[in-house]
Amino acid sequence: MEQKRLFGTNGIRGIPGKDLTLHFVAEMGLAIGTFLGKGVALVGHDVRNSSPTLAMAVAAGLQEAGIDASNAGLLPTPAAQFAIRKLGYDGGVIITASHNPPEYNGIKACSANGVEVSRDDEGTIEKIYYDKKFKRADWKTVGRSLEEPRGIRVYISAIVSQVDAEAIRKRKLTVVMDTGNGAQSVAAPYIAEELGCRIISLNGHPDGNFPGRGAEPTPDTLSALSKAVIAYSADFGVGYDGDGDRSIFCDDKGIVHYGDRSGAILTDHVLQTRKGNLVVTTIATSQVVDDVAEKHGAKVLRTRVGSVDVTKEMIDKKAVFGLEENGGCFFGPHIEVRDGGMTTALMMELLAMTKDTLSAALSKLPKYHQAKLKFECPIDKRAKVIEEVTHKAQGRIDTQDGLKILDGKTWVLLRPSGTEPILRLFGESDNKEKLDSMMQKYKEMVQAAINSLH
Ligand code: MG
């Protein structure tokens, strides 16, 4: 029988006490420790109520495998990842369920360079877990329990050193930060403080129940941010997801923007000011990124949807910048993982150096029409539906992740949802009529393929 995959798009996710029992988490620590073999691992966690205990359970497993486990406590995921690399750890484990509702938690395993272990390595860890082929240390070689208090400090100072701090300080920005009771509550406001900003903080205390606006920043959940930006005449607002790797921006007029538009102006800024001419993004991101890259003679490389895929391409190809439509931005010179704190500092630098307002900077981007549809479809039938539609599709097609059909400046993308029995159809075009007709055509094809299943 095929064993159930434990690692999803972004680590292992589940509900503590149900899927993520202490026993399971300790055994995963043992499996990750067996995989690492030897050395010292950093263990960090997000704000969830179950996180400190699960971090102790995973540390116990690591130590039983003979790995020293260094407890870094509460910190944003990108801060833990940066600390693993910067402070010379042999790997690390982060307890987090990112933007998921409060009842969830998760386990993310990282290599010595701070980035998520590869898909192949996830497979190896799963095999160790299922075969129960754990390395168990004896009393002499059992791992030690250490403390790592420097995580936040090194993260903040590295970010400040990556930008033109003097220029930002001179601009004296007013920034509303909605950390959503999440992990950036302990880092992002301090980055802004070091960069001389006036800070208005919303939902600024860590709370595992995410009582403020939930752990996922979207235009709907960021209405308080938008109001505060207007009320305080702020230069911009920013909202983070639960573990602080993604950031969604609100302009000086109170408009909350999707990640591919804020990411596009940052792409422009980075290509203008840093060395490097390669940008990595996923197949789901707006073509506005291509327009921006073209202006600088830079290349855009597209991956499957998922931050781990973007990270891998960025490292392999030495890309300077990466972005996702959900507000994840990756700044190569810092670390090739998405990072809400680094992204915010780059946004401040953009405003300081261009002297633009955020709304003005965003309004310079070409505009595209977008559309979204979803279809109910049993999880095990989704691949079949995509295959059927692929046979009938006309135009240039890309099948690296679902089905993407491109026709000039119009494209549609059919993909299964990560967790639900749903297929999603996205579309984008510079021409509204063309978009509508292409969406209608593929909507009918998908519907016909679903109906033919019965
Ligand atoms: Mg996240």
Question: From the CA of 437, how far away is ligand 1's center (Å)?
Answer: 35
Using one digit for the tens of pLDDT, what is the confidence trace for 66-77? 999 999 999 999
Residues, CB within 5 angstroms of ligand 1 (ion) = 98, 241, 243, 245
pLDDT score recorded for residue 4: 84
Using one digit for the tens of pLDDT, what is the confidence trace for 139-198? 999 999 999 999 999 999 999 999 999 999 999 999 999 999 999 999 999 999 999 999
Question: From the CA of 245, how far away is ligand 1's center (Å)?
Answer: 5
Pairing relationship of beta strands 91-95 and 105-110 according to DSSP bridges: antiparallel
Does position 350 have pLDDT exceeding 70, yes or no?
yes
**Averaged pLDDT for residues 110-124:** 95
Closest CA to 225 of 193, 180, 260: 180
Question: From the CA of 99, how far away is ligand 1's center (Å)?
Answer: 6
Does position 1 have pLDDT exceeding 60, yes or no?
no
pLDDT score recorded for residue 325: 94
Does position 3 have pLDDT exceeding 80, yes or no?
no
Confidence of residue 2 (pLDDT cuts 50, 70, 90): low
**Averaged pLDDT for residues 425-448:** 97
Using one digit for the tens of pLDDT, what is the confidence trace for 323-344? 999 999 999 999 999 999 999 9
- Domains defined for the chain, CATH in brackets: 12-148 (3.40.120.10), 154-363 (3.40.120.10), 369-451 (3.30.310.50)
Identified catalytic residue from 98, 247, 307, 429: 98
Please give the share of the chain, as a percent, with pLDDT higher than 70: 99
Confidence of residue 240 (pLDDT cuts 50, 70, 90): very high
Nearest-angstrom CA–CA distance, 341 and 157: 11
- Name the region of 306 (left: φ>0; alpha: ψ -120 to 50; beta: rest): left
Question: From the CA of 315, how far away is ligand 1's center (Å)?
Answer: 20
DSSP label of 118 = P
Using one digit for the tens of pLDDT, what is the confidence trace for 191-215? 999 999 999 999 999 999 999 999 9
Of 274 and 7, the one with more pLDDT: 274
Strand spans (E) along 135-188: 145-147, 174-178
Nearest-angstrom CA–CA distance, 165 and 151: 21
Using one digit for the tens of pLDDT, what is the confidence trace for 123-144? 999 999 999 999 999 999 999 9
Nearest-angstrom CA–CA distance, 17 and 304: 32
Question: From the CA of 192, how far away is ligand 1's center (Å)?
Answer: 20
List 168's β-bridge partners, or say none. Answer: none
Report the mean per-residue pLDDT for the chain.
Answer: 96
Give catalytic status of residue 98 as yes or no.
Answer: yes
- Name the region of 114 (left: φ>0; alpha: ψ -120 to 50; beta: rest): left
Question: From the CA of 262, how far away is ligand 1's center (Å)?
Answer: 17
Nearest-angstrom CA–CA distance, 89 and 275: 28
Using one digit for the tens of pLDDT, what is the confidence trace for 23-36? 999 999 999 999 99
Question: From the CA of 445, how far away is ligand 1's center (Å)?
Answer: 34
**Averaged pLDDT for residues 79-106:** 97
Does position 419 have pLDDT exceeding 90, yes or no?
no
DSSP label of 317 = H
Question: From the CA of 102, how far away is ligand 1's center (Å)?
Answer: 13
Two tokens at 246? 């993604």
pLDDT score recorded for residue 352: 97
Nearest-angstrom CA–CA distance, 290 and 68: 45
Question: From the CA of 244, how far away is ligand 1's center (Å)?
Answer: 6
Question: From the CA of 337, how far away is ligand 1's center (Å)?
Answer: 11
pLDDT score recorded for residue 420: 83
DSSP label of 117 = P
Question: From the CA of 51, how far away is ligand 1's center (Å)?
Answer: 15
Q: Mark 116-125 as b/e (b = at least 16 C-beta within 10 Å).
A: bbeeeebeeb
pLDDT score recorded for residue 205: 97
Confidence of residue 453 (pLDDT cuts 50, 70, 90): confident
Say what the pTM is: 0.96
Question: From the CA of 284, how far away is ligand 1's center (Å)?
Answer: 18
Output the furthest CA–CA distance in the chain (Å, rounded).
71
Question: From the CA of 217, how far away is ligand 1's center (Å)?
Answer: 10
